[in-house]
Amino acid sequence: MDDELVNNVWLDEIDFIPDPAAKQRALEEFALYLNPQKVRVMRSAGLDIIEAQRSGPWVWDLDGRRFLDCFTSAGSFNVGRRNPRIVAAAHQAIDHLDHGNFLLCSEQKAELARRLAELAPGNLSCTMFGTGGGEAIDFAIKLARGATRRPKIISTLNGYHGHTGFALSAAGRAAFREPFEPLMTQFERVPFGDIDALVREIDDSTAAVLLEPIQGEGGIIVAPDGYLAAVRAECDRVGALLILDEIQTGLGRTGKWWASEHYGVVPDIMTVAKSLGGSLFSISATIFTEELREFLIPNPFIHLSTFGGSDVACAVALEVLNVIEDTGLVEHAAAMGELLFARLRAIAEENPSYIREVRGLGLMVGVEYVEDSLGPRMSYHLAQHGVLAIYSGNQPSVMRLMPSLVIEEPQVEYLIDAFRSALADLKEGQGPSESPTRAKRRPVRS
């Protein structure tokens, strides 16, 4: 396989028979057997999309409409959807392997862990595999508490780490936690980017500080200059560990392998998930130092996961790392990110009464509108113009643009054209007059 494969967008035309009736049936059954409110919200948001064909940066729905996927399941499709190399690796794995026996040692797990050790920053060289991001965070927190024998975990307001037990306890949004309280004790939250707040909270009972280097769900909030280094120094001062959640930011998304590299900071524990599965299999990894592995020596079976790092998923993940490396996808993401930023900033300058800021790193881009309701409304209009883009869960005024890293210049221009058309429709007052999620709407100055 050569670079051309990844530098093409693969299928760029429809390869199936659209079936609007099947779409309606799926939505009805989804409402009956899964979640009627989700169907209502998606319909009114213009996002009642049932995915059919998927290829590279594109997705087609059952109606036959094509979208440039700029949501990518919150950064899960860095190598593109159904990348031919990943599909071939998956076929090969399925022909010979299965999940594997979690209790035994495994060739595939060992090889993937070695590759992750080679790629991870600094001295992170040991891995525990899981099935998803939440599980990776859960283990990171267990390891931090187990290794330090300290109870306190400090995370950030508006941070997002998943919905499993420890991860949910660290969630930065109260609405996710409150129905399930009491959750785990001794979880504290501080504002992201505010080192003084961290200094006030951190002490010698702190096991770890848990952060996303760039808050994703929080609204693409980039760490201010010097912040991560200062957090690292505070952790070192009190003997706490630094956990960096690279589940959205990792694997080339920000134009470096890991976002921490932008800041020259090496964590003690790093979590990776989403794109590691190459859009085909679920797999996550908690990567940590050899020193921390000491905790597992007397406790080799203290954390188990039947499907975590299945042999098939490890084989696929290995090919994901190969594709990123030998197609230069990290550098490519940086170049496409620069182009996208330049184009979006020009639109923002022309439209200051709609767009407050464009920010991010590489292909992790946030467009902050001047008010909350514009996020959902622009999602609606962008969908009408063939772009799937969703606003941030914890910050509806911010639209996340996180396309596959295989995106090329023509797709960047396609996105920019769609953005301009969507904004024009919004100005003309087309589409839903208020946020489909009922975010409070204030008048927009034109």
Kindly list the residues in this chain that would bind ligand PLP in the complex (CB under 6 A): 74, 132-134, 137, 160-162, 212, 216-217, 245, 247-248, 273
Q: In this structure, are strands 364-369 and 221-222 parallel, antiparallel, or unpaired?
A: unpaired
Nearer to ligand PLP among residue 47 and residue 355 (C-beta): 47
Nearer to ligand PLP among residue 312 and residue 422 (C-beta): 312
Minimum gap (Å) between residue 128 Cβ and ligand PLP: 15
Minimum gap (Å) between residue 161 Cβ and ligand PLP: 5
Whether residue 68 contacts residue 415, with contact meaning beta carbons closer than 8 Å, is answered with yes
Q: Cβ contacts of residue 284 below 8 Å, gap of 6+?
A: 129, 130, 131, 132, 133, 135, 136, 247, 271, 272, 273, 276, 308
Nearer to ligand PLP among residue 58 and residue 71 (C-beta): 71
In angstroms, the CA 289 to CA 67 distance is: 41
Minimum gap (Å) between residue 139 Cβ and ligand PLP: 12
Nearer to ligand PLP among residue 273 and residue 318 (C-beta): 273
Nearer to ligand PLP among residue 253 and residue 377 (C-beta): 253
Nearer to ligand PLP among residue 247 and residue 367 (C-beta): 247
Nearer to ligand PLP among residue 270 and residue 355 (C-beta): 270
Q: Which residue, judged by CB position, is nearest to ligand PLP in the bound state?
A: 133
- The residue written with tokens 């911010």 in the block is 398
Whether residue 431 contacts residue 377, with contact meaning beta carbons closer than 8 Å, is answered with yes
Nearer to ligand PLP among residue 139 and residue 354 (C-beta): 139
Minimum gap (Å) between residue 393 Cβ and ligand PLP: 8
- Give the strands of the sheet with 269-272, arranged side by side: 124-130, 284-289, 269-272, 241-245, 206-211, 152-156, 187-190
In angstroms, the CA 167 to CA 212 distance is: 12
Task: Find, among 407, 402, 374, the residue nearest to 388 by Cα.
Answer: 402
Minimum gap (Å) between residue 21 Cβ and ligand PLP: 32
Task: Find, among 333, 336, 331, 329, the residue nearest to 414 by Cα.
Answer: 336
Minimum gap (Å) between residue 13 Cβ and ligand PLP: 31
Minimum gap (Å) between residue 306 Cβ and ligand PLP: 16
The pair of structure tokens assigned to 279 is 């859009």
Whether residue 294 contacts residue 163, with contact meaning beta carbons closer than 8 Å, is answered with no
Which residues of 40-123 form beta strands (DSSP E)?
A: 51-55, 58-61, 66-69
Minimum gap (Å) between residue 271 Cβ and ligand PLP: 7
Eight-state DSSP code of residue 180: G
